[in-house]
Every structure is written in structure tokens, then in C-alpha cells.
Chains A and B, each alone.
Chain A
Amino acid sequence: MISVRSSTRPIITGVVVGVLSIAMLFPLSASAAGNDHRVIVGIATTSANFFTWGWHTPGSNLDLNTGAGTTAGKSVYWQSKHIAGTKGMNATTIDHPGYCTGQDVYVTDGSNGTALGNYWFVHISPAGSGTWFWVAPSASWTIQYMGSILLNESNPCTSRGLWDGPHLHQGGDNAASTAVVTNWGIISANPISPTGDAVNKWMHKYSW
């Protein structure tokens, strides 16, 4: 146990109060140097159901549908919101070379070109590879059309137990070497609603 002489207590108390005051005055100072872009559920819907198995690998993915109503044909967008930081991201749609149909997104730091980790939207009819869009470091949304959810999928995708009706498989490369962070807690309740809540209902964030 550390004993503190009574004469030094006011000094220590003053220092502690001073530090806390500064911290309260500048609550974002610790994260101001960091960049934070949050990606939400891509389906054009305000409420999305995730399948019972929740998060799954490789990377971190959710399988999502709209619950009630028709999921097939629903538009899918990259939907991200800037939360903090001064750096934007270059995002480019690239071919998805897996055996299900989809669109990958190659994401780099806008200031130096460093790769930040791929993102993907699978089981969609893709808009097309090669499109570049800027994920701006301003307090606004970035929205880019990715495609629409398929009515049926390719074989062998359908024969591997990965297709049980129209849905979106959305995920990102959350390896330690990337900037992709997963919001594991988003599946604390089903459905995810409202999907447009970038503060609490984000799926992934690019944080570096």
C-alpha cells in the first residue's frame, strides 16, 4: 500500500483535477489523430435481419436480408460515414474472384496509397469493376451503388450450403495488418435497426 503524506494530497488532487479538466475540454484529442470511416449494412433498407450463424470468416462477414418483403433485386450500396480524422480513402471496385458472384472494393489511404484492407459484397449482380470513388474526410455520407441482390446463385455456390435464398454476404478483411475493425456487438439484437445509425449500428470501420 502506498502512503501519501497529508501535505502532498492537495497538490496531487490539483494535478488530477487539472488533467481531468483538460481531458473533458478536449474529449476527441486522443482520437483526433486517428481516422474513422464507418461502413453500415449495404442493403437499401432501414432494417436488416442477419442469419443465425452471425459473424463468420474469412475476414468478418454477415449474411443479411430484409426480413419481411423481397430481398432479391434490392439495391446494395457502399454506405459509410466519416466520424473522425483528416484522411480520406480511395475506393475502387474490383472483380470478385471467388466462386459466388460479387463485387470487391480495394481501399487505400488517400494520402499515401497504403492498402487499408479489402471490402466485399457477395450474392449481388455487380455494377461493374473499375469504378473509383472518394470516401471523403468530412462529416457526411459516402454512397456508391454496388449492385442488386441476386435471385439465384451460381453452381457450385448453391451446392455448398452457402445459398439459402436471396441475401447479401457483406464483409471486410479484418486481418491485423489492415485498418478494418469489426463491430462484433452489432448482432446483439436481430434485426439490425435502424441500419442508418453509424454511431451504434456500423458493421465495420476503417480506423488508422
Chain B
Amino acid sequence: MTRLFLTGATTILVAAVGTVVAVALVGAIDRPTERTIPRDCAPSLDEQKAELQHLEAESDSFGVVPTGGCTADTSALRQHGPFRIVPSGYAGELSYKTVSTPPAPSARAETLAEVRSSPLYRVPDYVPAGFVETLGDTFDGDLGTVVRVRYEAPGREFELIRTLRNELPRDVYVADPNDPSTALAIDLTYVGGCPAFTFSPKSGSSTRIAFASVTFLCDEVETTLRSGTESVDELLIVAASVQEGEAQ
């Protein structure tokens, strides 16, 4: 009788512990996880000199040092869909939520043939005349998280990068637009209804850098086109064709 009681009690205990563990595991998987990171103010010129005194560098070796000071006021942050625009002068906390479980780690790749097997790989419906795919790799990820394809025409190029985003918001860090050394300007827009941002040469900048990029994010997949030869308007057309192909 005692043995029967102990056996029954043990069974109930094991079942209870198992249930608790299972509930905890399911909760850990399904419950959005959060993380917060601090962001420091950029060091002043004197602080930079102190950190790098071993270089014995002259003062004119140091580049742009923001002079506008820093703020921890979150009103300095700007939200645009899944994007959060973080100005260079923001020095406060940044929080994120994991919105889905990433796929299991997969192979890294350095060839076009491999990249074409990724679920993230897309061929734009439109590319400017003469452009062909020349290189492909998984950038800083693997086949399940990011693919990069380079397109080239004689003397011209652009990159198409597609990245899984299962933690949001996606931060976009921007230099001070009022700083004369800021050569690129950010614009917030939409591509096929998806929130997007572009970088292109800032009008009035003393240095004109021929660089443009377009990034849009829908359904946890981000698409970036960037180029040193193509205009932001041209990249927007290519981006729209990627999004239209995605929506079909």
C-alpha cells in the first residue's frame, strides 16, 4: 500500500515538474525577449587625444568631433515604421524586442551559386541595362539570415543585400546633419508601402560623395541597395521592383 502510494506520488511529482519545465521552455521560446544597451556620448577631442596618446598624433590628425553635446532624452529618437533613427548626439538607453525565433544556423557562402539557394535571395524584376550578377556571399551572416549580391555593368556597380530582422526596432545611426563634414543626408520614405530610408549626397555639402543607398523593411526582411555609381532615384526603382516581386 505504501509502495503504491509512493509510486503514485512520484508519478504526480514527475508530471508536475515536467509540466512546469515544459511551460517554462515554451514560454522562453514564444515570449518576446527584450534587451537594453547603453549608448555613450562620443569622446571630446581631448578625450580622443588621451585615449590615443600612444600614437603621438598631431591635433590635425583627428577628424570630425561632434560639438553639439549629447542628450539622453528619448524624444531625440525618431520612429519610422520598424526603423528608429538614432542621432549621433543621443547618449541614452536603447531597447529592443525579439519578435520571432530565428531559423537554425545554416552554412555561410561565398559564391553566387550558393547564395541562390537562400530563401532570402531575390532577383529584381528591373535592373538598369547592362547589369549582371557578378559576386555573391552571406556578408556577416549565413544563408538563413543575410545574402549579398553584387551587380556590375562596365564602370558601374550596385549591391543588393537582404537581411533577416527578427529583433526590432532596427536602428539607423545618423551623423549630425548640421555638421559641415556630413556628406550624406537621410530621407524617410516608403517602397511599395514598406517603410524605407535613403542616404544620398547632401545638398550644399562641401564634399560631394557619389554614394547612395535605399533600405526598406517588410515582414521582418530588410532589403538594401547601395552604390557608388547609381543615383538614389535609380536605386529606388530597383528596390520597388524587388518589393513588387515579393508581393506577388
Partners in one complex: yes
Using a CB–CB cutoff of 8 Å, the interface residues on chain A facing chain B are 44, 46, 57-58, 73, 75, 77-79, 90, 92-95, 97-103, 106, 108, 113, 115, 122, 125-134, 140-145, 147-148, 150-152, 154-156, 159-162, 169, 175, 194, 196
- Please judge, given known A-B contacts A95-B199, A140-B57, A143-B63, whether A128 and B88 are in contact too, CB under 8 Å: yes
Q: How far is the CB of B173 from chain A (nearest CB, A)?
A: 4
Q: Is the CB of B141 within 8 A of A160?
A: yes
Q: Is the CB of A145 within 8 A of B140?
A: no
Q: Which of B161-182 contact A (CB under 8 A)?
A: 161, 163-167, 171-177, 179, 181-182
Q: Which listed residue, A93, A98, A99, A155, touches B175 by the CB 8 Å rule?
A: A93
- Please judge, given known A-B contacts A94-B226, A125-B40, whether A142 and B176 are in contact too, CB under 8 Å: no
Q: Is the CB of A106 within 8 A of B209?
A: yes
Q: Is the CB of B184 within 8 A of A140?
A: no
B211: nearest residue on chain A (CB-CB)?
A: A106
Q: How far is the CB of B64 from chain A (nearest CB, A)?
A: 6
Stretch at the interface among B1-9, B12-20, B48-56, B74-82: B48-56
- Chain A residues near B141 (CB-CB < 8 A): 98-100, 156, 160
Q: Is the CB of B209 within 8 A of A125?
A: no
In the assembled complex, 21 residue pairs joining A and B whose CB atoms fall closer than 8 Å, in A order, are A44-B52, A58-B137, A75-B51, A98-B146, A98-B161, A98-B163, A102-B140, A103-B173, A128-B174, A128-B176, A129-B173, A129-B199, A130-B186, A132-B183, A132-B209, A140-B57, A141-B55, A143-B55, A145-B43, A156-B102, A169-B140
Using a CB–CB cutoff of 8 Å, the interface residues on chain B facing chain A are 33, 35, 37-40, 42-43, 48, 51-52, 54-55, 57-58, 60-66, 86-88, 96, 98, 102, 105, 108, 110, 135, 137-142, 145-146, 148, 157, 161, 163-167, 171-177, 179, 181-186, 199, 202, 205, 207, 209-211, 213, 215, 222, 224, 226, 228
The 4 closest A-B pairs by CB, nearest first: A156-B102, A130-B184, A132-B183, A98-B140
Known pairs A131-B181, A132-B182, A145-B48 / 20 extra A-B pairs, C-beta < 8 Å: A57-B108, A75-B48, A92-B183, A94-B211, A97-B161, A97-B224, A97-B226, A98-B141, A99-B141, A106-B209, A106-B228, A127-B42, A129-B172, A129-B173, A131-B175, A132-B181, A132-B184, A133-B181, A143-B61, A159-B102
A77: nearest residue on chain B (CB-CB)?
A: B52
Q: Is the CB of A130 within 8 A of B185?
A: yes
Q: Is the CB of A194 within 8 A of B54?
A: yes
